[in-house]
Structure 1
Amino acid sequence: MRKSFGVIASILLCFCLISGTIGLPSAQARSSVSAIDWNAELQHVDGFGGSGAFHKAGSIMRLPEPVRTKILDMIFSQEKGIGITIVRNMVGDGGTWGSKEYDGPTDTIEPEPGVFVWDDPEWETKKNNFDKYQIWFMNEAKKRGVTTFMSTVWSPPAWMKTNNSVLGKGNGKLKPEHYQDFADYLAEYVLGYKKHFDLDISYISIANEPGLAPNYSGCVWTPEEMNLFIRDYLGPTFKARNVPAKIVMPEDMSFSEEYALPALNDPVTVNYIDVVAAHAYGIGTDVPAFPVSAEKGKTIWQTEYMNQGAERQTYENNTITDALRYANLIGNMFDITGISAYFWWWPAANNGADGSDLIRLANDGSNQAIKPTENGLFRVFKRYYAFGNYSRFVRPGYVMIGAEKHPVDDVMITAYKDPNTGNFAIVAINNSTAKRKITFELNHFPDRVKEVVPYRTSPNENLKKLDYVKVSGNSFTVDLRGSSVTTFIPKAFELPALEDMKDVFSTYEAEENDGQSKGLVTHKDDAGKSHLANVRNGDYIKYGNVNFADGSANGTVEKRQILSMNAHVASLHGGTIEVRLDDPEDGKVVGTMTVPTLNDPGRWVTVSTMIDTNPEDGAYGFHDMYLVFKGKSKEQLFYVDAFTFGDGIESP
Structure 2
Amino acid sequence: MASSAGAAGSDHAESIAAQKSTTSGVQQITINGQQRYQEIDGFGASGAWSIDHIGSEWSEKNKNKVADLLFSQDKGIGLSIWRFNIGAGSVDTDQDIISDPWRRAESFKSGEDKPYDWSKQAGQQWFLQAAKKRGVEETVAFVNSPPVWMTKNGHGQPDPSVGSTNLKEDYIDDYAVFLADVLEHFHKQKLGFDYISPINEPTWDWNRAGQEGNRYNIEDIKKVLIALDKELHKRGIDTEVDAIEAVEYLSLLDNDMYATYTGKAGSTYTSGNAGGAFEGKYSEYIKEMLGDPQIAGIIGNKMSAHSYWSDEAKPGDDRLVRLRELVRENLNRYVQDAKFWMSEYCILGDRGPGRDLTMDTALDVAKVIHYDMVTTQASAWQWWLAVSKEDYKDGLVYTDYKNPGDTQSIIESKTLWALGNYSKFVRPGAQRIDLQGANDPNGLMGSAYYHDGDKQLSVVFVNSSDEAKTIHLDVTNLPGGKDVKQFKPYLTSEHADLKKQSTVSVKKDITIPARSLMTLVGKN
In 1, distance between residues paired with 2:52 and 2:78? 17
Q: CA deviation at 1:55?
A: 4.4
In 2, distance between residues paired with 1:263 and 1:491? 40
Q: CA deviation at 1:93?
A: 1.6
> Is residue 490–residue 518 contact of structure 2 (8 Å, CA) maintained in 1?
yes
Equivalence for 1:302: 342
Q: Does 132-141 or 287-296 show the bigger shift?
A: 287-296
Equivalence for 1:346: 385
Alpha-carbon spacing, 1:374–1:416, altered in 2? closer, same or farther (3 Å): farther
Structure 2 matches for 1:216-615, cutoff 5 A? 216-231=211-226, 233-256=227-250, 257=252, 258-274=284-300, 275-285=302-312, 286-287=319-320, 288=324, 289-294=327-332, 295-296=334-335, 297-308=337-348, 311-314=351-354, 317-349=356-388, 351-363=389-401, 368=402, 371=403, 374-406=406-438, 410-445=443-478, 446=480, 447-472=482-507, 476-490=508-522
Q: Which amino acid aligns with 1:329?
A: V
Equivalence for 1:210: 202
| 1:43 lines up with 2:75 in the alignment | no
> Is residue 255–residue 302 contact of structure 1 (8 Å, CA) maintained in 2?
no
Structure 2 matches for 1:22-37, cutoff 5 A? 22=17, 30-37=25-32
**Deviation sequence 1:506-559 (CA, Å, 0-9, x none):** xxxxxxxxxxxxxxxxxxxxxxxxxxxxxxxxxxxxxxxxxxxxxxxxxxxxxx
Gaps of 5+ in 2: 1-13, 253-283, 313-318
Q: Does 295-304 or 83-92 show the bigger shift?
A: 295-304
In 1, distance between residues paired with 2:495 and 2:366? 16
> Is residue 25–residue 477 contact of structure 1 (8 Å, CA) maintained in 2?
no
Q: CA deviation at 1:283?
A: 1.7
> Is residue 49–residue 104 contact of structure 2 (8 Å, CA) maintained in 1?
no
**Deviation sequence 1:196-236 (CA, Å, 0-9, x none):** x32111111111211221242111101232123323x2222
SS state at 2:242 partner = strand
SS state at 2:374 partner = helix
> Is residue 359–residue 378 contact of structure 1 (8 Å, CA) maintained in 2?
yes
In 1, distance between residues paired with 2:295 and 2:242? 12
SS state at 2:449 partner = strand
TM-score (norm 2): 0.79
In 2, distance between residues paired with 1:154 and 1:178? 16
Gaps of 5+ in 1: 1-18, 118-125, 493-652
Q: CA deviation at 1:353?
A: 1.3
| 1:168 lines up with 2:200 in the alignment | no
Equivalence for 1:111: 110
In 2, distance between residues paired with 1:30 and 1:355? 36
Alpha-carbon spacing, 1:187–1:103, altered in 2? closer, same or farther (3 Å): same
Structure 2 matches for 1:98-177, cutoff 5 A? 106-113=105-112, 115-117=114-116, 127=118, 129-170=119-160, 171=162, 172-177=165-170
> Is residue 193–residue 201 contact of structure 1 (8 Å, CA) maintained in 2?
yes
> Is residue 249–residue 260 contact of structure 1 (8 Å, CA) maintained in 2?
no
In 2, distance between residues paired with 1:438 and 1:354? 35
Alpha-carbon spacing, 1:43–1:116, altered in 2? closer, same or farther (3 Å): farther
Q: Which amino acid aligns with 1:339?
A: A
Q: CA deviation at 1:45?
A: 0.6
SS state at 2:378 partner = coil
**Deviation sequence 1:147-189 (CA, Å, 0-9, x none):** 3111111111223222222223335521222221112222222
SS state at 1:318 partner = coil
Q: CA deviation at 1:407?
A: 6.8
Alpha-carbon spacing, 1:298–1:162, altered in 2? closer, same or farther (3 Å): farther
> Is residue 361–residue 374 contact of structure 1 (8 Å, CA) maintained in 2?
no
Q: CA deviation at 1:246?
A: 0.7
> Is residue 90–residue 152 contact of structure 1 (8 Å, CA) maintained in 2?
yes
Alpha-carbon spacing, 1:374–1:144, altered in 2? closer, same or farther (3 Å): farther
TM-score (norm 1): 0.64
SS state at 2:369 partner = helix
Which protein shows a greater Rg? 1
Q: Which amino acid aligns with 1:357?
A: G
Q: CA deviation at 1:441?
A: 1.0
SS state at 1:56 partner = helix
Q: CA deviation at 1:61?
A: 4.6
**Deviation sequence 1:309-329 (CA, Å, 0-9, x none):** 5743336x4311211111111
Q: CA deviation at 1:66?
A: 3.3
Q: Which amino acid aligns with 2:452?
A: P
Q: Which amino acid aligns with 1:187?
A: A
| 1:180 lines up with 2:173 in the alignment | yes
> Is residue 55–residue 126 contact of structure 2 (8 Å, CA) maintained in 1?
no
> Is residue 50–residue 103 contact of structure 2 (8 Å, CA) maintained in 1?
no
Q: Which amino acid aligns with 2:395?
A: D
SS state at 1:218 partner = coil
Alpha-carbon spacing, 1:338–1:174, altered in 2? closer, same or farther (3 Å): same
Structure 2 matches for 1:190-205, cutoff 5 A? 190-195=183-188, 197-205=189-197
In 1, distance between residues paired with 2:19 and 2:397? 35
Alpha-carbon spacing, 1:309–1:373, altered in 2? closer, same or farther (3 Å): farther
> Is residue 255–residue 278 contact of structure 1 (8 Å, CA) maintained in 2?
yes
Q: CA deviation at 1:359?
A: 1.1
In 2, distance between residues paired with 1:50 and 1:373? 27
> Is residue 20–residue 468 contact of structure 2 (8 Å, CA) maintained in 1?
no
Q: Which amino acid aligns with 1:259?
A: Y
Q: Which amino acid aligns with 1:134?
A: Q
- Counting aligned pairs with the same residue, the percent is 26
SS state at 1:345 partner = strand
Alpha-carbon spacing, 1:290–1:57, altered in 2? closer, same or farther (3 Å): farther
In 1, distance between residues paired with 2:30 and 2:510? 14
Q: CA deviation at 1:64?
A: 3.0
Q: CA deviation at 1:454?
A: 0.7
Q: Which amino acid aligns with 1:432?
A: S
Choose between structure 1 and 2: higher strand proportion.
Answer: 1
In 1, distance between residues paired with 2:373 and 2:449? 10
| 1:90 lines up with 2:82 in the alignment | no
Q: Which amino acid aligns with 2:239?
A: A
SS state at 1:490 partner = strand
Q: Which amino acid aligns with 1:194?
A: H
SS state at 1:290 partner = helix
Choose between structure 1 and 2: higher helix proportion.
Answer: 2
Q: CA deviation at 1:50?
A: 1.1
Alpha-carbon spacing, 1:303–1:483, altered in 2? closer, same or farther (3 Å): same
Q: CA deviation at 1:260?
A: 4.2
SS state at 1:271 partner = helix
> 4+ runs of 1 displaced by more than 4 Å?
22-26, 97-105
How many residues are treated as equivalent by the alignment?
A: 451
Q: CA deviation at 1:392?
A: 0.8
Among 64, 68, 83, which residue is 1:69 paired with?
Answer: 64
> Is residue 323–residue 382 contact of structure 1 (8 Å, CA) maintained in 2?
yes
**Deviation sequence 1:254-286 (CA, Å, 0-9, x none):** 134333431221121111113321122222332
| RCO comparison, higher one (Cα < 8 Å, 6+) | 2
**Deviation sequence 1:353-402 (CA, Å, 0-9, x none):** 14221111223xxxx4xx36541322211111111111111111111111
In 2, distance between residues paired with 1:102 and 1:253? 24
SS state at 1:66 partner = helix
